[in-house]
Amino acid sequence: MITSLLIANRGEIACRIMRTCRALGVRTIAVYSDADAYAKHVREADEAVWIGASPAADSYLDGARIIAAAKQTGAEAIHPGYGFLSENAAFAEAVVAAGLIWVGPKAETITAMGLKDRAKAIAEKAGVPVLPGYRGEAQDAPALIKEAEKVGYPLLIKAVAGGGGRGIRLVTKAKALAGELESAVREAEASFGDGRVMLEKLVEQPRHIEVQVFGDSHGGGVHLYERDCSLQRRRQKVIEEAPAPGMPKAVRKAMCDAAVKLTKAVNYEGAGTVEFIVDGAQPLSVDTFWFLEMNTRLQVEHPVTEMVTGTDLVEWQLRVASGETLPLKQKEITLWGHAIEARICAEDPAEDFRPGAGLIEEFGMLADEDEDWLRWEAGFETGDRVPAVYDSLIAKLVVAGETRDEANERLIDTLAHLQLVGVPGNVGFLRRCAMADAFGRGTHHVNWIAEQGDTLTQPSAAHQHASVMAVCDLQLDRGGDMPWSIQDGWRANRAAGLKTPVEVGADTDWFDPRAHDVDEDIPLALVTDLSERRFAVTTGGDSFLVSIPDFEAEAEALAGGDAVKAPMPGKLIAINVKVGDTVEKGQVLAVMEAMKMEHSLPAPRDGVVETVDAELGAQVGEGHVLIGLVEEG
């Protein structure tokens, strides 16, 4: 059994692999770039090695540096996770050539299944159903146009070496083919260094169903049933589940048997996924699914399979890579209940899923995490910084139940208790997806999110309203026992008033909680104090940063003051004065880094530095007094 493992990845997958390693007593080595120097996966590893600058090309995609880190730390094996170099055959070969164990399939298998046209040819030979299309050598425009007529419209142009939704173009009419071909080839060359394409008949309401497979070096090959990954936006998965809703036993057997056939045809070793496209416009049958591609790695969505089969697929990977046989035979792998995974991303669905970056001010579940039906797979925590240079996935929420309905109810409820503030988040969007009738019935398909428009992507105005009211109520409840501290709105010679000034984003308004009702059907607003006047509020999965303006402090600042305070949470990167220094109004006394920007902190008036209450490089909270002044003389 492997005793030390370098994880050539970051974020939640690195943390997830480490969890299994800790249970098995395997020493873990993390690698990190400049952007990840203080990341969660670095903190949780037994050892960590810097491998380069922030851009992935200079760090996580630099195979030579990763192998050097493994040799330097005495690692026996390298686990690539997913993404980055996980399906790079040259890297797999280099790992083995360096005398290390590669936790994944053989390089020749990665090569064979990495090219979509070759993979489909292997599938056809193995007797696996494949969609009609063109996968030939001729790549000139006239030849492709001729073949497109044979395939028929609508059709998809796909990059032969493609993945992640890149190099794909939908063509509905013959006159659009030439232009889309040129665009697809250009993107394929830029993304994969290979401009070859193939043509494939379009399934207009596709479902995406995949089968988890595993092989070992002793000829063993099994499946661990199927997953449905049909809830997608721009060909990127959003919510995945196992097993697939509405799956008849006969179709499950046919699909899983086909996946195992392909696994054995290529002498597959390790974890893999055989993906199928399914015609969602028809009932599931043995004639309505076709091979799409094979992913030669662990998938993002593997936890749902683990929850319904009671397995640990990372442990399986380590055992198979160590030369052991598969832990279970096919007849010993059973299926229980239903599991659903939601991908938590730092992105703004309302802005076309624009990815976000910056300091996470509050992140986590405001509920019990110890339930056996719940898994929280996170690569970030409160106080961590999301870099702008990597994928937006920051965590995964996984729930299970005896039935699909029970699992989905748990998902909806848990998402309502999940708070993400400081960076854009998709939690409310995920909850709206899970609450939709189509998802509840299991009738959604790959194009469903795009068809819904703003219904899913826009945050709820009612949720924002409830969040603001919760902060107003909280402020009014904070009165004291003295008569002038009681928050009852009493005014001399005028009607009582309870209005409170509130900021949400860039907007400031006055709210009277007595004059606004909150819908009883709206989930309870959950409030977290970030400071005396700033609150993270989550209502129904939508999180808002709500602030109470400090007009007295603003007036004091205009008139000058005795203290230089941190205007927001951040890192102190410069202190320009010491105790006893004489300063002038406007002189920069310190500099903070917050939200990827530098903020100069000037002296509010002339004076002498009396106190310096912060250290260079320290993380400070909003309102922290950094420098105190007294009058000169």
**Binning pLDDT at 50, 70 and 90, where does residue 554 land?**
low
State how far the Cα of 80 lies from the Cα of 60, in Å rounded to an integer: 10
Q: Are 396 and 303 in contact (CB under 8 A)?
A: yes
Residue (of 70, 31, 75) closest to 49 by Cα position: 31
State how far the Cα of 23 lies from the Cα of 62, in Å rounded to an integer: 29
Residue 486: predicted pLDDT: 46
Residue (of 282, 268, 311) closest to 119 by Cα position: 268
Residue 551: predicted pLDDT: 62
Convert 569-621 into a string of H (helix), E (strand) and C (coil): CEEEEEECCCCCCEECCCCEEEEEEECCEEEEEECCCCEEEEEECCCCCCEEC
Instruction: State pLDDT tens for residues 349-363.
Output: 999 999 999 889 899
* Top-confidence residue, 609 or 549: 609
What are the structural domains, with CATH classification, of the chain? 4-103 (3.40.50.20), 121-131+205-336 (3.30.470.20), 132-201 (3.30.1490.20), 337-454 (3.30.470.20), 462-478+497-547 (no CATH), 560-630 (2.40.50.100)
Give the rounded percent of residues in the chain with a pLDDT score beyond 90: 69
Residue 60 has pLDDT above 90, yes or no: yes
Residue 458: predicted pLDDT: 93
* Top-confidence residue, 471 or 28: 28
Q: Say what the pTM is.
A: 0.82
Catalytic residue numbers, as ranges? 297
Instruction: Tell me how far CA of residue 551 lies from CA of 21, 496, 501, 525, 558, in angstroms.
Output: 53, 21, 10, 26, 11
Q: Mean pLDDT over residues 451-478, rounded? A: 85
The helix or strand, by DSSP H or E, that contains position 528, with its residue range, turns out to be strand 526-529
**Binning pLDDT at 50, 70 and 90, where does residue 633 land?**
low
Residue 614: predicted pLDDT: 83
Residue 595: predicted pLDDT: 55
Instruction: State pLDDT tens for residues 481-498.
Output: 545 444 555 455 554 456
Q: Are 305 and 223 in contact (CB under 8 A)?
A: no
**Binning pLDDT at 50, 70 and 90, where does residue 272 land?**
very high
Instruction: State pLDDT tens for residues 71-120.
Output: 999 999 999 999 999 999 999 999 999 999 999 999 999 999 988 888 99
Instruction: Tell me how far CA of residue 624 lies from CA of 531, 572, 627, in angstroms.
Output: 10, 11, 9
208 phi and psi, to 5 degrees?
-115, 110
> Which of 15-24, 46-55, 539-548 has the lowest average pLDDT?
539-548
Residue 520: predicted pLDDT: 78
Residue 218 has pLDDT above 90, yes or no: yes
Q: Mean pLDDT over residues 150-175, rounded? A: 88
Average pLDDT, the chain: 90
What are 500's two structure tokens?
A: 């409170």
Residue 617 has pLDDT above 90, yes or no: no
Residue 534: predicted pLDDT: 87
Q: Tell me the β-bridge partners of 625.
A: 565
User: Where do the H-state alpha helices sit in 231-312?
Assistant: 249-265, 302-309
* Top-confidence residue, 402 or 369: 402
Instruction: State pLDDT tens for residues 587-612.
Output: 999 988 865 567 889 888 888 999 99
Residue 425 has pLDDT above 60, yes or no: yes
Residue 585: predicted pLDDT: 85
Residue 438 has pLDDT above 70, yes or no: yes
Instruction: State pLDDT tens for residues 249-265.
Output: 999 999 999 999 999 99
Q: What value, to the nearest 5°, has the Cα angle with vertex 565 and ends 573 and 616?
A: 25
Q: Mean pLDDT over residues 438-453, rounded? A: 94
**Binning pLDDT at 50, 70 and 90, where does residue 501 land?**
confident
The helix or strand, by DSSP H or E, that contains position 211, with its residue range, turns out to be strand 206-215
